Chains A and B, each alone.
Chain A
Amino acid sequence: MNVLIVEDEKSLAREIASFLEKENFLCELAFTGMEASEKIAVNLYDFVLLDLGLPDYDGLDLIKEAKKLESEASFIIITARGAVEDKVRGLNLGADDYIAKPFSLLELLSRINAVARRKFNIGTNDINIGKFLLQVQPRKLFCEGKEVDLTRKEFDLLQYLVLNHDKVLTRQQLYEHIWRNTLDDQYDSNFIDVHIKNLRKKLNFYSATPWLETVRGVGYRVIMENKNSTSQKC
Chain B
Amino acid sequence: MLRLKVKLALFNLFSKLAVTAIFIIFMPYLIGRINLRQIDNDLIKKREEVISIISEIGIEPFIEADSTDTFGNYNILKEEFISIEPNLTGDEINQIDVSKRLIDDDIIEYRVLSYSLVINGKSYILEVGKSLESISQTNKNIRNVMLIFLFFIITVTFLTDFQYTRRLLRPLDFIINKIKTIATPSTYDRTKIKTSTTDFVRLDETLTELMDRIEKLFAKEKEIAVNISHELMTPLSVLRSKLENIMLTENLEPEIEVKIEECLKTLYRLQSLINSLLLIERIESRQYLRNDTFQLRDVLHEIIEELSPIATDAGININHQLPEPLEIHNANRSLIFSMFYNVINNAIKNTGKGGVINVESIPDKNTFTVCISDTGKGMTEEQMKNLFTRFKNGTKNRDNSTGIGLAITKTIADFHDILIRVESQPGKGTKFYFIFSKNS
Interface, chain A (partner B; CB < 8 A): 9, 11-12, 15-16, 18-19, 22, 53, 80-85, 100-106, 151, 153, 167-168, 170, 172, 181-191, 194-195, 197-198, 215-219
Q: Counting CB contacts under 8 A, is B241 at the interface?
A: yes
Interface, chain B (partner A; CB < 8 A): 226, 229-234, 236-242, 244-245, 247-248, 254, 257-258, 261, 264-265, 267-268, 271-272, 275-276, 278-279, 282, 287-289, 306, 309-310, 313, 334-335, 337-338, 341-342, 345, 399-402, 405, 408
Chain A residues with CB under 8 Å of B239's CB are 102
Query: Which residue of A53, A106, A151, A191 is within 8 Å of B310 (Cβ)?
Result: A191
Chain B residues with CB under 8 Å of A100's CB are 233
Q: Known: A18-B245, A184-B275, A187-B400. Contact between A83 and B226, CB under 8 A?
A: yes
Chain B residues with CB under 8 Å of A151's CB are 309
Q: A102 and B240: CB pair below 8 A?
A: yes
Chain B residues with CB under 8 Å of A12's CB are 234, 237-238, 241
Q: How far is the CA of A195 from the CA of B242 in the complex (A)?
A: 28
Query: Which residue of A83, A167, A187 is within 8 Å of B272 (Cβ)?
Result: A187
Q: B342 and A184: CB pair below 8 A?
A: yes
Q: Known: A82-B229, A188-B345, A218-B258. Contact between A101 and B237, CB under 8 A?
A: yes
Chain A residues with CB under 8 Å of B279's CB are 183-184
Closest partner residue, chain A, to B262 (CB atom): A217
Q: B245 and A168: CB pair below 8 A?
A: no
Chain B residues with CB under 8 Å of A82's CB are 229, 275, 278, 282
Q: How far is the CA of A105 from the CA of B232 in the complex (A)?
A: 18
Q: How far is the CA of A102 from the CA of B244 in the complex (A)?
A: 12
Q: How far is the CA of A83 from the CA of B278 in the complex (A)?
A: 10
Q: A172 and B257: CB pair below 8 A?
A: no
Chain B residues with CB under 8 Å of A216's CB are 254, 258
Chain A residues with CB under 8 Å of B254's CB are 215-217
Query: Which residue of B238, B245, B268, B310 is within 8 Å of A172 (Cβ)?
Result: B268
Q: How far is the CB of B401 from chain A (nearest CB, A)?
A: 8
Q: How far is the CB of A66 from chain B (nearest CB, A)?
A: 23
Chain A residues with CB under 8 Å of B232's CB are 80
* 30 A-B pairs (CB sep. < 8 Å): A11-B242, A12-B237, A53-B230, A80-B229, A80-B231, A80-B232, A82-B282, A83-B282, A85-B287, A100-B233, A101-B233, A101-B236, A102-B239, A103-B237, A105-B244, A168-B247, A170-B247, A170-B261, A172-B265, A182-B337, A182-B341, A183-B334, A184-B276, A184-B408, A185-B272, A185-B275, A186-B402, A190-B310, A191-B310, A217-B254
Query: Which residue of A11, A83, A191, A219 is within 8 Å of B287 (Cβ)?
Result: A83
Q: How far is the CB of B409 from chain A (nearest CB, A)?
A: 10
Closest partner residue, chain B, to A8 (CB atom): B234
Chain A residues with CB under 8 Å of B408's CB are 184
Q: Counting chain A CB atoms within 10 Å of each CB, which of B232, B237, B400 scores highest? A: B237
Q: A15 and B230: CB pair below 8 A?
A: no
Q: How far is the CB of A34 from chain B (nearest CB, A)?
A: 20
Q: B236 and A81: CB pair below 8 A?
A: no
Q: How far is the CA of A83 from the CA of B229 in the complex (A)?
A: 10
Q: How far is the CA of A185 from the CA of B222 in the complex (A)?
A: 21
Closest partner residue, chain B, to A14 (CB atom): B241
Q: A81 and B288: CB pair below 8 A?
A: no
Q: How far is the CA of A234 from the CA of B147 in the complex (A)?
A: 106
Chain A residues with CB under 8 Å of B268's CB are 172, 187
